Structure 1
Amino acid sequence: MPPTTAPHLPRPITLIINGKSRRGQSEFDTAVRFLRQAGVPLGATELSRDKAHTERVLRREVAEGAQTVIVGGGDGTLSACAGFLVHTSVAMGVLPLGTGNTLARSLGIPLDLEGAAQTIAIGHAEPMDVGCVNGRVFLNSVTLGLSADIAHALDSETKKRLGLLAWPVIGARVLWKHRTMVVQVTSPNKKFYTRTHQLVVSNGRYIAGPIAAAPDASVQDSCLRVFVLGGSKFQSLARTAVKWLLGQHTTAREAHYFATRTVRVETIRRRVPADVDGEINEHTPLDLKVLPGALRVIVPRNFEADEV
């Protein structure tokens, strides 16, 4: 018996998958099959060759008044695509095909393709907050310091081969060469300087895959979370990392953990690269703000942002 078409998806929907993501090319046909089996009325199915190809497809969908676009890829791909869909009526369906799949975790979307396809078929559209850094949209986090140095050292082949294990493997190499940074953080209610190895600005609860960096956050609370990981010494970084694993890092003395709608991050003496949703594409100084409810996404029926 042919699948019943998902009632909330009456029009043919375009699917675009990043062919360079960890599983994009190898699982393209599987993704198409699972979506059709779930009853999703697929129209065009595109295996993206490059960013220009993706941009053409998304601009076309917005111009033609599409209801939904399904995007398959890692967090960097989803973030880049969201930049074309914010403040439009187009909802984004998510197929998690990357390494960390942080956005899928924040939205409660299954990490397996079949489950994600079912979510698109029977779920519903919800508004979510997005972050904006120097005019660029991000969905999960912006980080400075050690994690950005690791992301810079990671190549796509290593991520494809090792998956989440790529981070500790490359991290061990980067750690001993890593330099601390002096940051100035300014928000409407706070201003401080500190020397540290790591600073994180998070939109939701998770960063870098399964790490619940901001346990009190959600993608619907209209706030960003800012925190520093450790002081200037490696002992402080290690101590904070342990507290992070125990879920106690937000109360650590060195954390400077707080919620805000806007924040400016500057570094003293040198510009520092920033990891934006897994991609190194910004440098300090950074002006960040939250855009409440700016993106529509397909989420599971039982989605509750503050319970994911």
Structure 2
Amino acid sequence: MSFTHRTGTPPRIAVPAQIVHRFVEVDGVEVFYRESLPERPDAPVLLLLHGFPSASHQFRRLIDTLGRDFRLVAPDYPGFGHTRAPRDFTYSFDRLADAVEAFTERLGLARYAMYLFDFGAPVGFRLALRHPERVAGLVVQNGNAYEEGLSQAARDFTALTPETPGAEAALRGLLSLDSTRGQYEGGTSRPELVAPEGWLLDQHFLELPGRADAQRALAYDYKSNVAAYPVWQAWLRAHRPPTLVTWGARDPFFLAPGAHAYVRDVPDAKVHVFETGHFALEDHLPAIAPLIADFLTRTWPGASAPLSPGAARP
């Protein structure tokens, strides 16, 4: 069998980024992370902060898409993904932020934009409060910071205590395979666009020894984030960081009013709401990735415009 090469303009090929996968030790925690190697050493930096029940693998396709033009860095928190924490690690959102803060310092990240998704919002806002000078901007995707963004299910979840009747049963249900899959596929009108590897890998990590206890501790600590909403909002008003908000409107936990609320404290924030669920990147990456590329190019001094997604470099 032979193939005839047609003359003319060659097809455009979207060449993915080169990505490295590493561990770094910080304060007794072996933090796993994945990082793109952009073609420019001074490329804008985007720190990708994942949510529950996921880890840095949720950003694989985004890193492939944008990583040649931007430095995308995605760590796994203690209690998630490939990161290994000592048995006596105390799981709270303060401690997750401690680990990520130490991680950024170990990598020498002096300035970065942050992608705040789900649990990434409480981690990222803690970093912002500690080091506002390091924050070049915010990309918020279903990362809630407002009371009006909480659904009734989220309010019930944040109210849980170890003494709440049925709390342990509710948490066991939350950590089940059906629940994990539902968080990925819920809200999307095209579940065939959601790769099963994401929720299957999440479930694998959730079932590792000690991980259920870690998630239980974080669940009971989540109310500390709701209590901090006014502090986070005050930070936004004081610093007015460049902000891009993308949101899945059918998220059963974090409602679309939580997306629009950011404009109240950052009037120049750009808000884009999509008809999908919690893991909006799963089925709306082609719409969201160009928004992020444009945002980083506009807001990072000296950034050069990236190529269109289908273009190949000479």
TM-score (normalised: structure 1): 0.34
Q: In proportion to residue count, which structure has more helix?
A: 2
Q: In proportion to residue count, which structure has more strand?
A: 1
